[in-house]
Structure 1
């Protein structure tokens, strides 16, 4: 069977389908669309229940409902199991002259109190207890003198047997503390644990009735706070409860108020004889807000018992909500109300109104027809969060669907934007509307920076927002807006990112340029903008974008004349080419060179060396020298060649080239040729020193000798030409040219050739030149001393006929003496040669008659078989070999030519016929004999054990590597 709650839920859903409509959702940048159905916020459903008489009172707690009817009956029902309901007669348990004034059900739905008042002076008020599992009511005996008007239940109680300590309010302003406990038998009749009067409410010597009591623990401490209301006043109490033997007592809370009863009182003038106190509990059953129904309106506030701002008040942000006006001029004050999180449902005799607690506007009004009867009460089951309204004829349940749906808008209108966003529940359209409104408000107030930050989070038109800040001349705020939009873009939005980066750069540069033009480049504002600009440039997204738009950014900076930032940016982007170019543009050559040295990138050196050498040759050469061989001197030649040929540039170039030659032994011919050219043009002494250092071996010099000679001839450097000609082997030309320059130089050149004949010829030419010029006998004699190759007879033809031989007597005698000595030496050598020839002839004769005896047992030195078995060779050293063994052993060690000849001779012996082999040759020997003699000359030329082959094999191992394993096994 479907429960009543399920039936009402289904009916509500059916009703919602017919009532739902499009819910507007507007925002500056979002398309209006319906995201969810527009179910009514408030709706009521009639309960399928027919009362046996007029309903007078209603109580609901934890899905347990109790109705009191005019016929003296109680109707009880478990809403989860509506079929389990019952009616019982309560009038027979009370005095007949009393009337029911109220029923009170504890939060668990197990303990019910019925309060009765006397109808006349003869009657007495009464309080009756009924347990959920009992049908027998029992009077609370000590309540006979008290008319209970309100019950403050213990919300911490979890027992179905006892109520725990509770507070009772009476019509005379008394506050009582008691605890009711059901009997342990199945009758569940009440036992009154204790009963004590703990406080009295007195107002101007009168005792007003208690209309509301609520008490709750403060967090998890022993402190409790108590709210008590009368028709005109709200009393607040706070203090520590005492626990004795496990029993909690609330009496101690009121001790300090006995002497100061006026503390913590909120008074509101009212002409009503009643009032009502309601709390709203969160999901953890912790009271968060309260509302107090009074004549002028609902007094509403936030509960904060831990607040230290006002020790006399337990609530904050309290205000009075006026009742909505009624055009029909009926009762203005409601009879009752219930409190939700954001609304108060006000019950009148014929209608229910819902008022927003935030903006105090009427959001819902529900009229009841006469068929339903007059409304008696509206109550809330705060544990199950259900709301029930009862008329004298029937029962209704109110369903609240998403009552927070418009809270964001209300908070937004109240400019409480943080709260508004909290209740948007991450709806992007609503959040956007709130942000737009907040940004507009901040803009109007002049808080442009904060406004820009919030505008960046909205979907407002980019152009509109930018124009807004531009019209207000708020460049700083515009930069904030653009930067936030830049951070929000996706990596794929490369075009938008580039646009924003370029624009923001332009804004920064414009601001900096304006300050520079007004002479404020040292101001704090200038440094702050510069610092912000540098921070902007190092953002990862900006750095990445710079790789694509850096040329545009460089152009912007150049157009603003901001060289400093241009250099910083190029450094930041590692665009070192532009860094150096900008330094050169600023004529900061040392900075450019420092950058080049720090980077250690040779390509950049080669690129900028020409202009740096042209503008600052000295510091450039210093930098090049510092780089050492990290730079290739040959690749720097274009930079050197592009320089002007003045002394400053040439001296620095020569300094660098000399450095690399002396320290790194550079042998690049182009470098040497260039340095030689500079020497030839600017420093002839250095040229001669260079030629001297290079030496006189043409294979070891590093310059092009022919080019050097041609260059020196063009520059008419005779001495250098002499040295170069001599280096090329043009001795006659070198001596001839040297004679025109300096005879001493000619003599030095003539002494250089290694060939004695050439050297003699050169000396003769020098002697001829000198003697024919001055006919000096002394100088001619010096030639004889300097060149032993010259004789006096060589010089005599160069003298004139008038010179007598007496002048050459001594040189001639010396020459004749030398000839005599030479003749004696030749004669001695001839005698020694004759004796050697005789000795050889005698040895030959002795070998002809020499013989060796070979015994039958003599073995071959190679195969160790009997030597006489086959033809053999016998060497003077005593080694003996079979001819075939010697041939096999000697053939691998023969040279290619002799091996080929041996093969050819063997082939002839094998191929030619006997007749052909018997043919006599020109030597008188048969061809066979001649071929065998030639083979013997090749094979038996020397003993293989005693000849040169064995000497050449002295460094070879006895055992070949490939035979090592075999030999090792044999030895084992």
Structure 2
């Protein structure tokens, strides 16, 4: 039976293990066996615990060999009969028992090997009497059958490389066997086979030597690849082989093929040794496909490093650190004494190597070569035989010939951070100290100190900021430096790490402001350096925490800025706090007009535009106008007029006109003052643009936006004649317009003369043109041309403009043509008069016929609307024959009247009623009768203007019968 002891207390005779702390420069002495002082010691890294193997009482022998893999433990007992027992450690089951005595006649067991599945056991046996040859036994875990492997007779197996990638519970897969003569064989063993499936010699490290044992042999494969690696050790050498196999290759021979034919040289390291053996150990996390560390106990000590994880790496073993054990100092001792001072076995952990000596176990840290553990075994415990590690669980076991122990590893990496720290490997130290704040703080302080001593002050500042080192102490270190960037960096980081403590935040912020201002205003700074510092300072001030602190502590920060006389940052600070007016005042007083204009654009108070633009316009006309234009409709152009009228230079006028044009044509400004001002500027400075502006405004006096009289005065004052003529035409000052136009443009004068609506006015203006063109020149051709251009002119109108001595012959033809025209017009007038006489006679006859016309009505006639007798009430009769009572017709016509007609009809009715009432009370006069008749006639003209059927209904045929459906719906409800 096999199980762990429930009681973890040590046996009375077991000495206590002592944890040896690492001391720089020396190793703490080990206590004498049995010494205990638990009050002063922390929990040891390594502590052993005895495991009671529940061996059947019939087997009283001592342990000889033990091997463990995947929780399967195989041990050999030297009883009166050699017996192999097989335990599964997690369960309390009876062990498997296999007697070996009959296979060992003349032989002795040299080692026991167990594969990674825990099912295949190899037991090399060596002869004890002459005439016998070395051999090995194979036992499968599922049965008691023992097979002697005859094919390997004469070969003493000293090392086995099991195949963790191809091996199964029924077959080992292809494995490698190392012999005492340095030969490496490939074979495969299975549960059912009576002999090995193959036997191939794949390599020879001994090169014919009869005693060159292979002491270690490991087969590895790089995960997710087909790259295989073999590590082999002898007492004085370590060899490496590597090759990429094909996915379907089942043999390991191809790993060595290129090395056998000389195409490739195996890795080899030779050491001078005082030992006739060596030990190879690999370490990896349990169930890890590829171990990550290797260690080789050899004559020079413990060599160790990492295993390559790259597919194309030239070397399998990376790194070659050495922990010297200095076996040479024992060379003068006897064999037995040397044997006791040389380690007999080794187990590898992540950071330590455990060495087994004849009477004790020593733990050495691989990182600093310090002894951290030492455990002595009393004679009562038995003779120490071996130490081994289960690669599946990572558990380390030690056994004597009487007892079996396992080792508990507690917090192995506890001091790794300190070791890396002492070695100056601060990044690794920081990683391992990350979970312990106090350790991490120590690492960061050391890291910061080292960076400071090295001159990397910025890096040191970053590290100091993360430590608990007193703020004052760190600040004093940095403040002495000429370069102030590290101290600024440190204080900023500490500020970012502060809790919401307003007082501390205020102190740090004000100090940082002072430091920044000192750097910005340092006299020997270049412009670029100053700009860089300023940019960093601006970014700092925009931080949320800093901005909030600055708002709450305006006065001290403002005073600090004034002490440094930094007008730029005073302005920036004022802007940040919304004090734009103060900023602009200071910038203008310092003649920093561009800065003032920029500040003006950063705020939303439009009153400041009206206040400061007159000043800025004087120095920066183009930029100021661009700023005004950028505000678009936000600004009231009328209020900006005072800003614009103060400037008179050419560059100012150009920009003012530009803005006014933008306001009028882009923004649609219609205020009269704005239009009058641009008209004035056009008239005075840009007369060629004035007429275009006036034409764009149009000729409808109700739609123009300027004052016509003001415009006329300005145009006359600055002698813009074309614009003056245009305005005179708008004012109907035709004669004046023609007279002015004649002074510079005859064609324009003629166009104006043709515009008046009255023929009389046109004739007068054309006479003016004729007088201007003819008088004093006696140019007959011009006179004749004028007669052709204007039909209103006659030759007799032009003759007064010629001198009395002009010959009549020159006008003979025009006079004759004029006489012909007069004669023709006289004839036309006579014809028209005859036609008028005839028309008058026809009218007289029609009137006579109308007087004699009548309509006969019988007493039985009915109203066409109410169908009652017509003559019972006043009525109307139309030429078409339709007859209506006056009240019926009025009732029908009233809804169809316009609002004006309806009101007029109501008013007439009221006047008529009033007049009738007055006639009843007073005496009737002739004037009342005439007035009454006039009212009745006007009422009849509204009511009986047309026949209801033949006129009104036809005119309203396109109108809907119902105009107010909502009212209809209400009426029907």
TM-score above 0.5: yes
Deviates more, 1:57-66 or 1:603-612: 603-612
Aligned 8 A contact 1:50 1:394 in 2: no
Q: Of residues 291, 295, 299 in structure 1, which corresponds to 2:295?
A: 291
Alignment match, 1:605? 609
C-alpha distance in 1 between matches for 2:174 and 2:679: 117
User: Could you tell me how far 1:60 is from its partner in structure 2?
Assistant: 0.6
User: Could you tell me how far 1:386 is from its partner in structure 2?
Assistant: 1.7
C-alpha distance in 2 between matches for 1:630 and 1:307: 71
Query: 1:207/1:587 Cα in 2 relative to 1: closer, same or farther (>3 Å)?
Result: same
Q: Of residues 173, 188, 193 in structure 1, which corresponds to 2:198?
A: 193
Aligned 8 A contact 2:221 2:290 in 1: no
Question: Equivalent residue of 1:248, what SS?
Answer: coil
Q: Where does 1:20-99 land on structure 2 (aligned, <5 Å)?
A: 41-51=45-55, 52-71=60-79, 72-95=82-105, 97-99=106-108
Question: Equivalent residue of 2:368, what SS?
Answer: coil
Q: Of residues 352, 370, 389 in structure 1, which corresponds to 2:361?
A: 352
Q: Where does 1:255-274 land on structure 2 (aligned, <5 Å)?
A: 256=259, 264-274=267-277
Q: Of residues 209, 216, 223 in structure 2, which corresponds to 1:212?
A: 216
User: Could you tell me how far 1:640 is from its partner in structure 2?
Assistant: 7.9
Query: 1:117/1:606 Cα in 2 relative to 1: closer, same or farther (>3 Å)?
Result: same
Deviates more, 1:604-613 or 1:377-386: 604-613
Query: 1:902/1:223 Cα in 2 relative to 1: closer, same or farther (>3 Å)?
Result: closer
Aligned 8 A contact 1:536 1:542 in 2: no
C-alpha distance in 1 between matches for 2:672 and 2:255: 112
Q: Of residues 165, 184, 192 in structure 2, which corresponds to 1:156?
A: 165
User: Could you tell me how far 1:379 is from its partner in structure 2?
Assistant: 0.8
Q: Of residues 174, 182, 188 in structure 2, which corresponds to 1:174?
A: 182
User: Could you tell me how far 1:66 is from its partner in structure 2?
Assistant: 0.9
Aligned 8 A contact 1:621 1:656 in 2: no
Q: Where does 1:639-788 land on structure 2 (aligned, <5 Å)?
A: none
Question: Equivalent residue of 2:543, what SS?
Answer: helix
Alignment match, 1:481? 490
1:21-80 Cα shifts (integer Å, max 9, x gaps): 9x9xxxxxxxxxxxxxx9754333322325521111111111111111222111111223
2:237 equivalent to 1:234: yes
Q: Where does 1:504-523 land on structure 2 (aligned, <5 Å)?
A: 504-514=512-522, 517-518=523-524, 520-522=525-527
User: Could you tell me how far 1:180 is from its partner in structure 2?
Assistant: 4.3
C-alpha distance in 1 between matches for 2:377 and 2:312: 46
1:324-357 Cα shifts (integer Å, max 9, x gaps): 999x999443321211111212223443332222
C-alpha distance in 2 between matches for 1:291 and 1:274: 14
User: Could you tell me how far 1:381 is from its partner in structure 2?
Assistant: 0.9
User: Could you tell me how far 1:677 is from its partner in structure 2?
Assistant: 15
User: Could you tell me how far 1:406 is from its partner in structure 2?
Assistant: 3.2
Question: Equivalent residue of 2:95, what SS?
Answer: strand
Query: 1:98/1:898 Cα in 2 relative to 1: closer, same or farther (>3 Å)?
Result: closer
User: Could you tell me how far 1:257 is from its partner in structure 2?
Assistant: 7.3
Q: Where does 1:511-910 land on structure 2 (aligned, <5 Å)?
A: 511-514=519-522, 517-518=523-524, 520-522=525-527, 526-527=528-529, 530-531=531-532, 533-534=534-535, 537-538=538-539, 542=543, 546=547, 549=550, 559-562=563-566, 583-589=587-593, 592-593=596-597, 602-612=606-616, 631-636=635-640, 853-860=856-863, 862-863=865-866, 865-872=868-875, 881-885=884-888, 888=891, 899=906, 902=909
Question: Equivalent residue of 1:319, what SS?
Answer: strand
User: Could you tell me how far 1:177 is from its partner in structure 2?
Assistant: 0.6
The count of corresponding residues between Structure 1 and Structure 2 is 761
Alignment match, 2:284? 281
C-alpha distance in 1 between matches for 2:265 and 2:620: 95
Deviates more, 1:59-68 or 1:97-106: 97-106
C-alpha distance in 2 between matches for 1:287 and 1:654: 83
Alignment match, 1:361? 370
C-alpha distance in 1 between matches for 2:612 and 2:548: 23
C-alpha distance in 1 between matches for 2:254 and 2:680: 118
Gapped regions of structure 2 (runs ≥ 5): 11-16, 22-41, 331-336, 682-696, 710-846, 966-973
Alignment match, 1:789? none
User: Could you tell me how far 1:190 is from its partner in structure 2?
Assistant: 4.2
Aligned 8 A contact 2:122 2:138 in 1: yes
1:222-254 Cα shifts (integer Å, max 9, x gaps): 6544433344x1321324488899541448628
Query: 1:476/1:488 Cα in 2 relative to 1: closer, same or farther (>3 Å)?
Result: same
Question: Equivalent residue of 1:287, what SS?
Answer: coil
Question: Equivalent residue of 1:181, what SS?
Answer: coil
TM-score where L is the length of structure 1: 0.63
Aligned 8 A contact 2:184 2:201 in 1: yes
User: Could you tell me how far 1:316 is from its partner in structure 2?
Assistant: 1.0
C-alpha distance in 2 between matches for 1:658 and 1:149: 103
Question: Equivalent residue of 1:378, what SS?
Answer: strand
Query: 1:330/1:466 Cα in 2 relative to 1: closer, same or farther (>3 Å)?
Result: farther
User: Could you tell me how far 1:382 is from its partner in structure 2?
Assistant: 0.7
Alignment match, 1:944? 943
Q: Where does 1:364-375 land on structure 2 (aligned, <5 Å)?
A: 364-375=373-384
Aligned 8 A contact 1:46 1:396 in 2: yes
User: Could you tell me how far 1:194 is from its partner in structure 2?
Assistant: 1.4
2:122 equivalent to 1:119: no
Aligned 8 A contact 2:488 2:512 in 1: yes
Aligned 8 A contact 2:520 2:534 in 1: no
Alignment match, 1:767? none
Query: 1:942/1:169 Cα in 2 relative to 1: closer, same or farther (>3 Å)?
Result: closer
Query: 1:268/1:189 Cα in 2 relative to 1: closer, same or farther (>3 Å)?
Result: same
User: Could you tell me how far 1:500 is from its partner in structure 2?
Assistant: 6.1
Question: Equivalent residue of 1:4, what SS?
Answer: coil
C-alpha distance in 2 between matches for 1:875 and 1:618: 81
Question: Equivalent residue of 2:189, what SS?
Answer: strand
User: Could you tell me how far 1:876 is from its partner in structure 2?
Assistant: 11
TM-score where L is the length of structure 2: 0.63
User: Could you tell me how far 1:135 is from its partner in structure 2?
Assistant: 1.6
Question: Equivalent residue of 1:612, what SS?
Answer: helix
Aligned 8 A contact 1:270 1:295 in 2: yes
User: Could you tell me how far 1:487 is from its partner in structure 2?
Assistant: 6.6
C-alpha distance in 2 between matches for 1:654 and 1:385: 88
Aligned 8 A contact 2:660 2:674 in 1: no
Aligned 8 A contact 1:116 1:126 in 2: yes
Aligned 8 A contact 2:865 2:884 in 1: yes
Query: 1:155/1:538 Cα in 2 relative to 1: closer, same or farther (>3 Å)?
Result: same
C-alpha distance in 1 between matches for 2:853 and 2:505: 113
User: Could you tell me how far 1:435 is from its partner in structure 2?
Assistant: 2.8
C-alpha distance in 2 between matches for 1:79 and 1:254: 41
Q: Where does 1:361-400 land on structure 2 (aligned, <5 Å)?
A: 361-400=370-409
1:541-565 Cα shifts (integer Å, max 9, x gaps): 6378558738687776665455567
2:7 equivalent to 1:4: no
C-alpha distance in 1 between matches for 2:620 and 2:170: 105
Aligned 8 A contact 2:292 2:307 in 1: yes
Question: Equivalent residue of 2:116, what SS?
Answer: coil
Question: Equivalent residue of 2:112, what SS?
Answer: strand
Alignment match, 2:346? 337
C-alpha distance in 2 between matches for 1:878 and 1:606: 80
2:305 equivalent to 1:301: yes
Alignment match, 2:784? none
User: Could you tell me how far 1:195 is from its partner in structure 2?
Assistant: 5.2
C-alpha distance in 2 between matches for 1:170 and 1:656: 108
Query: 1:308/1:903 Cα in 2 relative to 1: closer, same or farther (>3 Å)?
Result: closer
1:261-306 Cα shifts (integer Å, max 9, x gaps): 9975445555444432211124533132222224563222223386
